[in-house]
Structure 1
């Protein structure tokens, strides 16, 4: 029997698409292995959001080749579809599959004729493999052209999955045992729209997005629904009303700040300013009990002055983020930021990234400590450690009990914020 191995770099959309590939390969009779040395075929879903991501994608390919030189490696995803000069090479058994090449056809060449008419990336998932949390991709594509981002030149087709299909897939995932679903997309808040540019929308509030969230939350048996990533413009009073009425909606939002300086946000071509971001955080905090807000910030964007950087620091303190993902700015060929003036020395970028990361650690600890004595719903992910994610996206270890993987356990968070005692 032909065996396959899959590894995925990058975002939740990439991870979802890897699951689609996994489901397809299993449907045509291939057997999955979790060790590359045992694979006949390896699929590497690449990422190129940063130069570091491109490097990690290449390293993943090299590791598989080193472990199994006879394995045919099929690399696809954003790095392969990009116009960067960072693509992997010099491996004879490597096949680069671009977006306009059907993976089905490449597999047919690799492992013989396939008896299927199914198109991989048009099929919904029936299960999410061995994971307790299932991602459900509902939107693809972006034309926002943030000046640091290469994705609008790669994922150019803006599309949304019909709501009926989303609901059917959500029910399939719940029926297969997944207690939590995470809605994801390249620009999730643009669900149902033909553009992500809000200035071209008839209304500032996206009713299709609101209906999506409310409808999926009603899925019978769904214990928890989470949004993967939203923009400040997606946060509205209407969305907060839905959150208050649906108890299975996780009080956690990942909202990319990128910079606390309105001047830098304008250079980044973001669709909000710092005051708008602050107002959205206020709205979330006023509407929900101890919500968790995680974020992304870019350190050292071209033209960022010390004053601009301090505004990012101040904004982080104001928002009290439960986690900050810090990215050191790196120039990407083909992006608007590549041609901006004021590119900063590597040392300055490194120092600012380190300061943001240190602040992020302090804020994360402060947020965890604030939850002491609160009740949390933990979905067990690791039976050996009796730990899993709670609704606020924190890893929590239970102090006692013997719960099975996938089980939802109500527990009271202890002073450390990292452990919880099961409620009796």
Structure 2
């Protein structure tokens, strides 16, 4: 059976490919499906859509790729190491395909979109290459392979949101789920492949999002994460017939409120925000509703305005700091995390120091930190020379990581001696004698099992001690 581990991390390269675990829903054909997902939350959400489409077409699932008739790997192109990991995994499938010549092996997602038909030429193991907007075509593409061919569909769409597809929920704890609210990205950050692999930005029907949240709550889920490459630019206007007045436009702040009003017992998270778009209206909405978690992932990438301009981030150092100030003013208890890239093209030592000073200014709860990795086809690859030596990139990255470790400890120490509302997500990885869950600020909390409570319950936990990554405490009444 397939299984999917959920995480709050964005573009976290430490994640390995994970398989999906569900029960078939359609008329069985006896064919078995295996999917692995790599990369960001959006990829894992997309795998739920893929599973739904294929299970409606009679596929069952398996947790062992060697037993599968169809093997898919849902890929990430955000960094070179992520792509190499996928290539290595495909080689591991080769022995299984040798023993089962009828096995169909496919590459889905961003890496498929970036490499397109070239993938079929380079990787003889791969039979199907499918981009993020072509998943509805999977049954047809698999059919072509069954007939002896190989198949590619990487067409990008300006309309596809999969709003009418009910994702097969692959979260084994039945507590937390993703809801994709939009697809694509219109931001042309010079280091990023996403606009080229996921296409133009389009927002999903707000009513379908609210219905999905309601359905999840009715099914016992207690937390949803609204997903988009840039959730703050969400904007949906319902189509109207010719001659009719246009309907009201719903922005992200309004959508947040609509989802929060499904139930005060349903926690709301979202990812990812863009500093140029996050508004005070969103912040005031977060402050108004207790069940909207007080946590924002706000990627800075660099603390220097010149480097930010080269990155085409469309904000400068002062703008970013003003947005942080607004968050601290409107939601004083809000947790903030970020992404940082070290060693971007032409970055000087003084500019690197400005990134460190930005980190000191914000004191992020945690961060996702990378040395710059040039991605083919991006604006940076076309315009700039990747001229920072690897040893300099790595040294700067080490300085960023060390500083962030200090800040993470500083932030989490603030929870010691205080009571946190925690949603029990499951048992601790280290012991089945401890529960684990997250507080509002997305901090992981570990505490002894209490027989009065179960997974899915909200509890109050008194923080007693901590590491730089985990708050340790006990349930209090």
Segments of structure 1 that go 5 or more residues without pairing to the other structure are 113-118, 195-205
Correspondence for 1:349: 393
Quick one: which of 59, 63, 76 aligns to 2:92? Answer: 63
Correspondence for 1:294: 337
* Cα 1:336–1:271 shift into 2, 3 Å: same
Segments of structure 2 that go 5 or more residues without pairing to the other structure are 1-29, 148-159, 238-248
Correspondence for 2:462: 412
Correspondence for 2:320: 277
* Cα 1:408–1:33 shift into 2, 3 Å: farther
Question: Is it true that 1:228 corresponds to 2:271 in the alignment?
Answer: yes
* Cα 1:45–1:121 shift into 2, 3 Å: farther
Correspondence for 1:381: 425
**Residue 268 of structure 1: how far off its partner (Å):** 0.6
Correspondence for 1:123: 164
Correspondence for 2:221: 178
Indicate the SS of the match to 1:42. strand
**In the comparison of the two structures, how many residue pairs are matched?**
407
Tell me the distance in 1 between the aligned counterparts of 2:264 and 2:62.
Answer: 31
Correspondence for 2:355: 312
Alignment of 1:246-265 (within 5 A): 246-265=289-308
Correspondence for 1:140: 183
**Residue 170 of structure 1: how far off its partner (Å):** 1.1
Correspondence for 2:106: 74
Question: Is it true that 1:243 corresponds to 2:286 in the alignment?
Answer: yes
Tell me the distance in 2 between the aligned counterparts of 1:257 and 1:213.
Answer: 23
**Residue 159 of structure 1: how far off its partner (Å):** 1.1
Correspondence for 1:362: 406
Indicate the SS of the match to 2:224. strand
Correspondence for 1:423: 476
Q: TM-score, normalised by structure 1?
A: 0.89
Tell me the distance in 2 between the aligned counterparts of 1:67 and 1:36.
Answer: 8
Correspondence for 2:139: 104
**Residue 85 of structure 1: how far off its partner (Å):** 10
Question: Is it true that 1:42 corresponds to 2:71 in the alignment?
Answer: yes
Tell me the distance in 2 between the aligned counterparts of 1:325 and 1:120.
Answer: 28
Contact 2:342–2:396 (8 Å) recurs in 1: yes
Alignment of 1:12-51 (within 5 A): 12-51=41-80
Indicate the SS of the match to 2:300. coil
Contact 1:127–1:173 (8 Å) recurs in 2: no
Indicate the SS of the match to 1:10. coil
Contact 2:128–2:145 (8 Å) recurs in 1: no
* Cα 1:41–1:100 shift into 2, 3 Å: closer
Contact 1:128–1:173 (8 Å) recurs in 2: no
**Residue 107 of structure 1: how far off its partner (Å):** 3.0
Tell me the distance in 2 between the aligned counterparts of 1:365 and 1:67.
Answer: 45
Tell me the distance in 1 between the aligned counterparts of 2:43 and 2:167.
Answer: 17
Indicate the SS of the match to 2:106. strand
Indicate the SS of the match to 2:181. strand
Indicate the SS of the match to 2:89. helix
* Cα 1:120–1:162 shift into 2, 3 Å: closer
Q: TM-score, normalised by structure 2?
A: 0.79
Indicate the SS of the match to 1:168. helix
